[in-house]
Every structure is written in C-alpha cells, then in structure tokens.
Amino acid sequence: MKRIMQWARDYLTIPVGMMLIAAAVAGGFQAREADASAYKMLAQQWPEVSVELKTEIAEAMQDDQVSRWESTKLTRDIMNERRALAWDMQTGTVEQERAKLQEQIGKDRK
C-alpha cells in the first residue's frame, strides 16, 4: 500500500493538479456574462422562437444578464429548433445589446 501511495504522489500529483486548476479557471471564465454578440443573437431570434424557448430566455435573464454557460445552452437550443442562425455581426456594447433583449422580452410579456 505504501508503494502505491508513493507512486501516486510521484506520478499523478502534477497531472491531476493541472486538470483541477484548468477546470476551475474554465468554470470561472464561463460563469462570466455573455458578450454583446450573444445578446444580439438572442434579441434577433426572439420573434421566431417557440414559446418554450422564449420562456427559457426570459428565465436566463432573471438576473438581468446571461452567463456564458446559459448563452451556449440557449444558442444550442435555438439551433436545434431553427436549424440555422443568421444575425448581424455589427454589435454595440454589452449594455446596449442587453437592453435590446430586455425590451424584446418586455414587449412579449405585455
């Protein structure tokens, strides 16, 4: 048993530690707010998506922002439903694009 523990300490400490550090860094990066192009895509796709997806998008905006995790999932769901995406790549700031999406959500709720 002592030899196994010594072998694991000698040969597995660095590789396992590197994987854990990479996972922590990637998790922190993905938890940040989505970029302006993600908000623009969601706002432009809003009129064409199903009610279920609209609900999903509105729920993602509960905290007044969408994380990169949520943005990736929503993009995949929209692609599954619509089969293609086309949006204008000229984006404003994150705040401007977020406001446009919130406006779309607000119009639909009235």
The domain containing residue 17 runs over which residues?
1-30
pLDDT of 89 higher than 90: no
pLDDT at 43: 92
Do residues 26 and 41 both lie within one domain? no
Q: Which residues, in sequence order, are bridge partners of residue 33?
A: 67
Q: Specify whether the CB–CB gap between 62 and 100 falls below 8 A.
A: no
Q: Which pLDDT belongs to residue 79?
A: 92
Residue 108: what pLDDT?
76
Partners of 67 in beta bridges: 33
Assigned token pair, 45: 């796709």
Q: How many CB atoms lie within 10 A of CB 64?
A: 9
| CB environment 8-21: b (16+ within 10 A), e (fewer) | eeeeeeeeeeeeee
Give the contacts of 81 (CB within 8 A, at least 6 positions apart): 49, 50, 53
Same-domain pairing of 52 and 81: yes
Co-location of 42 and 13 in the same domain? no
Please indicate, yes or no, whether residues 6 and 40 belong to a single structural domain of this protein. no
* Residues 45, 65 share a domain: yes
Residue 20, pLDDT above cutoff 90: yes
Q: Are residues 50 and 104 in the same domain?
A: yes
Average pLDDT over all residues of the chain: 89
Instruction: Give the chain's domain count.
Output: 2
pLDDT at 86 over 80: no
Res. 110 pLDDT band, cuts 50 70 90:
low
Contact yes or no for 94/39 (Cβ under 8 A): yes
Indicate the pTM of the whole model: 0.76
